[in-house]
Chain A
Amino acid sequence: MMKCVFVTVGTTSFDELIERMSAQESLRIFKSLGYSRLTLQIGRGTVVPEPFSTESFTLDVYRYKDSLQEDLQRADLVISHAGAGSCLETLEKGKPLVVVVNEKLMNNHQLQLAKQLHKEGHFFCCTCSMLPGLLQSMDLSTLKCYPPGQPEKFSAFLDKVVGLQK
């Protein structure tokens, strides 16, 4: 069974993360942890690593896809920027997640959600420079699972307030 890491930056750019993930140091760490495939979704970034495939390791790189569902589904570990969409989609799939905060975008409102979910223990959170250390020390089994949202509570509320007859 091939273990995959999926790195996603959504529609933004996060060159520092992509640069670090494709560096020899990180590839060595991934291999030592038993991963044999790394997929980088780089968005608008200007750092575009060269894809390669050897017997023991494959690196895929692309900018966007219509849907990241397939890559998320296949991943055994997801490393994401702090975007709400990426975080929620990953958690809903029940995949272990590391959120990397872009220090250049500290007052982005999306950080509110990442901060809260991190506080609740749903993923690990770090900066680019802390990432290699975290990858080697983290214990994925300590993450709390993320219960699905309850839109049915919304529809029940709405039915009532608009006076919908059952």
Chain B
Amino acid sequence: MACVLILAAAAAAVGVVLVLRLWIVFRCQDVTPRESLSLLVVAGSGGHTTEILRLLGSLSSAYSPRHYVIADTDKMSANKINSFELDRAERDPSTTHNKYYIHRIPRSREVQQSWLSTVLTTLHSMWLSFPLIHQVKPDLVLCNGPGTCVPICVSALLLGILGIKKVIIVYVESICRVETLSLSGKILIHLSDYFIVQWPTLKEKYPKSVYLGRIV
């Protein structure tokens, strides 16, 4: 009996600490001045990759090194990323800022996959995302909606909850989303530090979001 009580108390204590940490992580938005920051980009397939590369094209070389995460079933994205980085390197030959890495993880949701199996594959990619995030420890995670970005952002949040590192999570909803959020967007609007939408209709529906006009 005592044993059960102690266990319950311990579990409750851990729970309270985690909730407190979560609160601190969410509250913590102090802007530390810095000269450069490491970036982890979740590239999806097809259109998602095209969009995110456009956004990256506008970022200065202070965002370095750049880590790309792509789904292991995705053939096209690696090519697009390589040619994007090649272009960039040609424009800015100072080699110190041209470090990039491509990481592959299993896709958490194929198009038209059932809900139950989505949960299972998401848990599986969660299991693989955390070690990756823990190894990279990026300053900033940037994503725009492929299924893979949910486990990555949860892992990044976990890094903050565990007190290892506060990672800034920025989510940009795809230009395709005019009136409704994507599934990833509906989840990550609660977990991201900055949630950017590209159409005024969405800004009205989700006042917490940031609207900067059409940015891709």
Same complex = yes
A84 to chain B, nearest CB (A): 4
The residues of A that contact B120 with a CB separation of less than 8 Å are none
B32 within 8 A of A: yes
Question: Chain B 52-68 against A: per-residue CB contact (8 Å), 1 yes, 0 no?
Answer: 00110111101000000
- Interface members, chain A 107-122 (any B CB < 8 Å): 109-110, 112-113, 115-116
Asked if B213 and A153 sit within 8 Å, CB to CB, the answer is yes
Contact of A158 among B46, B170, B174 (CB under 8 A): B170
A165 to chain B, nearest CB (A): 5
Contact of B176 among A110, A161, A162 (CB under 8 A): A110
Asked if B176 and A151 sit within 8 Å, CB to CB, the answer is no
A113 to chain B, nearest CB (A): 5
Nearest A residue to B182 via CB reads A109
CB within 8 Å for A155 and B34 given contacts A109-B177, A113-B178, A149-B54: no
Nearest B residue to A109 via CB reads B176
A49 to chain B, nearest CB (A): 26
A157 within 8 A of B: yes
A150 within 8 A of B: yes
Asked if B194 and A161 sit within 8 Å, CB to CB, the answer is yes
A163 within 8 A of B: yes
- Interface members, chain A 124-158 (any B CB < 8 Å): 149-155, 157-158
Asked if B210 and A157 sit within 8 Å, CB to CB, the answer is yes
Q: Which of A110, A115, A149 has the most chain B CB atoms closer than 10 A to its own CB?
A: A149
B74 within 8 A of A: no
Interface size class of B (residues with CB under 8 A): 35 or more
Asked if A151 and B215 sit within 8 Å, CB to CB, the answer is yes
A159 to B60 alpha-carbon distance, docked (Å): 9
A94 to chain B, nearest CB (A): 16
B105 within 8 A of A: no
CB within 8 Å for A85 and B50 given contacts A112-B176, A155-B58, A164-B35: yes
The residues of A that contact B176 with a CB separation of less than 8 Å are 84, 109-110, 112-113
The residues of A that contact B193 with a CB separation of less than 8 Å are 161
Contact of B216 among A11, A151, A157 (CB under 8 A): A151
Asked if B175 and A162 sit within 8 Å, CB to CB, the answer is no
The residues of A that contact B139 with a CB separation of less than 8 Å are 162
Contact of A150 among B172, B210, B213 (CB under 8 A): B213
A100 to B120 alpha-carbon distance, docked (Å): 37
CB within 8 Å for A154 and B58 given contacts A109-B180, A165-B33: yes
Asked if B58 and A151 sit within 8 Å, CB to CB, the answer is yes
A64 to B35 alpha-carbon distance, docked (Å): 43
Write the residues of chain B forming the contact surface with A, with a CB cutoff of 8 angstroms: 31-37, 46-47, 50, 54-55, 57-60, 62, 139-140, 168, 170, 172, 174-180, 182, 193-194, 196, 199, 210, 212-216
Taking A113-B178, A155-B59 as known contacts, 12 extra A-B pairs with beta carbons closer than 8 A to each other, sorted by chain A number, are: A84-B174, A85-B46, A109-B176, A109-B182, A149-B54, A149-B215, A150-B214, A151-B57, A157-B196, A163-B34, A164-B35, A164-B62
